[in-house]
Amino acid sequence: SIASADMDLNQLEAFLTAQTKKQGGITSDQAAVIAKFWKNHRSQIHESLINQSCWDNVLKNMNWRVDLKSQLRHIDQINTPVAIVEMELGKNGQ
């Protein structure tokens, strides 16, 4: 629950307090250990969850621009914006 919600310190404290008050929940010592572990390893856990949720292709790079046509045969097509998007895809972890 803590990792999937990516809890900040206030949310973590409220969650662990609720868990200690629950019947059959955790002790305050266990809550302190969990809080310390989460504070020290939050970024690595979050990164691991992101890597596990990515499937095949990931976006490696993206370039874009908007062009305006200045010369055409038909006057009604002049100044028509054209968006050009270039996306580079790659395999996850490569």
The pLDDT of residue 92 = 66
44 Ramachandran zone, left/alpha/beta (phi>0; psi -120 to 50): alpha
The pLDDT of residue 55 = 72
The pLDDT of residue 15 = 94
The pLDDT of residue 44 = 92
Distances (CA, A) of 14 to 25, 29, 31, 32, 42: 14, 15, 11, 12, 17
The pLDDT of residue 17 = 93
The pLDDT of residue 59 = 84
pLDDT < 50 stretches in the chain: none
Q: What is the pTM of this model?
A: 0.54
30/34 Cα distance (integer angstroms): 6
